[in-house]
Amino acid sequence: MESKHFLALADGTVFFGTSCGAPRDAEGEAVFNTGHTGYQEIVSDPSYAGQTVVLSAPEIGNYGCCAADMESRGLFLSGLVVRRMNPPSNARSEEAFSDLLRRYDRPALCGVDTRRLVLHLREAGSQRAFLHCADESMSPEEGVRRAREFAGLDGIDMTARVTDPAGSSWEPADGAGKDAPLVAAFDFGVKRSILRSLAAVGFRVRVLPAGAGADEVLALKPDGLFLSNGPGDPAGVPHAVEAVKTLLGRLPVMGICLGHQILALACGAKTGRLKFGHHGCNHPVKNLIDDSVAITSQNHNFAVVKESLPKELELTHINLNDGTVEGIRHKTAHAFSVQFHPEAAPGPHDAAGLFRRFREEF
């Protein structure tokens, strides 16, 4: 008997399965992640806000979940699709993965042929999608209609949905206290592992909400500025671009992911949507400065357009799979950014030295 639960895509394709999370429906943009570990870090990464994530690894939930592995204060993704949801078998586990999803009211679908689904998304591109996991019955045709009605994420300020309005403070791990340089960090959807990494190299960090302006940054009298990762289209956060324009040249700047795109826009470059984005922890990136290659963790649907880079920006990193821009640095201001995640929780950690490089700016 065919399951009553399904994922419907805007192109009319439907994938059936069984609800294994919160019993409700959700619309979102369907993307796939190729990582083999880190499912808790994936679902708690605010950069997935508005997206239904398909995990390509077939066995999910095996090592359970624990509070220490949460990358934010909640789950912001729209929904999740997996091949098999397993109970935990790990002494470190505090909660089953399916229970975590229910606790944060995130729907999930299991029993899906995710290999076929990932291949479909790779060929057709990221899709507007509708995830039906509610108890009430719904026809697949209605699900497709709901998917097509979803407005998508382009041009929308998704950072407002995920930023912590209260902000936070992090102290340097070396105990330097007030003697440590202070970094003001824009929270566009920042991962906790990034803040831990900044503290680990000796920074005091004051985290500001995404809507903060340049005046609020300068009022802290910081020694540097950090632009975090976050969800959605960088064109949807023009206020952040304007703030960075004001601060560029006045403070050393480091950006990651969405922060990288915002820095590029502030310098006059352009951004555009990728066909299916980069989501996973096995993306090879070449450093054009020292001719090295790092395996990196990534999570983005938009990228900086290489041909639009102004003369003030130097291309420092490229993606070896598709040649897209992975890193830039300003030729006169102390500013650089990367598209990938050097904190890379749960890994790999090939690029973790970039936080030390930022520390050396001081």
pLDDT higher than threshold 70 for residue 7: yes
Mean pLDDT of the chain: 96
pLDDT of amino acid 173: 86
Residue 154 within any structural domain of the chain: no
- Nearest to residue 307, comparing CAs of 256, 271, 276? 271
- Rounded CA-CA distance 204/202 in Å is 7
Q: How deeply is 158 buried, as exposed, middle or buried, from its count of CB atoms within 10 A (0-12, 13-18, 19+)? A: buried
Say which CATH number the domain at 191 has.
Answer: 3.40.50.880
The lowest-confidence range among 111-125, 173-187, 193-207 is: 173-187
CA angle, 337 as apex, 349 and 57 as ends, to 5°?
Answer: 40
Same domain, 187 and 328: yes
- Whole-number Å distance between alpha carbons of 192 and 358: 18
Domain boundary among 120, 149, 178: 149
Quick check: 257 and 277 in contact, CB under 8 A?
Answer: no
Secondary structure (3-state) at 331: coil
For the ranges 204-208, 226-230, 239-243, 341-345, the lowest mean pLDDT is seen at 341-345
Q: Is 278 a catalytic residue?
A: no
Catalytic-labelled residue, pool 5, 279, 330, 341: 341
Torsion angle of C-alpha atoms 348, 352, 353, 357, degrees rounded to 10: 150
pLDDT at residue 1 in the model: 38
Residues 163 and 144 in one domain: no
Per residue in 142-188, pLDDT tens? 999 999 999 999 999 999 999 999 999 999 988 778 889 999 999 99
DSSP state of 306: G
Q: What per-residue confidence (pLDDT) applies to 127?
A: 95
Cβ atoms of 262 and 234 closer than 8 Å: yes
Burial 51-86 (b: 16+ CB within 10 A, else e): bbbbbbbeebbbbbbeeebbbbeebbbbbbbbbebb
Asked about 132 being catalytic, the answer comes back as no
DSSP state letters, 54-115: EE-SSEESTT-B-GGG-SSSS--BSEEE-SEE-----TT-SB-HHHHHHHTT--EEES--HH
Claim to verify: residue 107 and residue 177 sit in the same structural domain? no
Of 110, 133, 257, 267, the active-site residue reads 257
Asked whether residue 79 is assigned to any structural domain, the reply reads yes
Confidence (pLDDT) at 185? 98
Whether 179 and 321 map to the same domain: the answer is yes
Q: Is the pLDDT of residue 2 over 60?
A: no
Number of domains the chain is built from = 2
DSSP annotation of 291 reads: T
pLDDT at 192: 97
Active site residue 257: yes
CATH number, domain containing residue 22:
3.50.30.20
Predicted pLDDT at 178: 83
Q: How many residues does the chain have?
A: 362
Q: Are 29 and 77 in contact (CB under 8 A)?
A: no
- Determine contact, residues 162/241, Cβ cutoff 8 Å: no
User: The pTM is what?
Assistant: 0.96
Tell me which residue range forms the domain holding 108: 5-149
- Asked whether the beta carbons of 45 and 299 are under 8 A apart, the reply is yes
Q: Dump pLDDT digits (tens) for 40-89.
A: 999 999 999 999 999 999 999 999 999 999 999 999 999 999 999 999 99
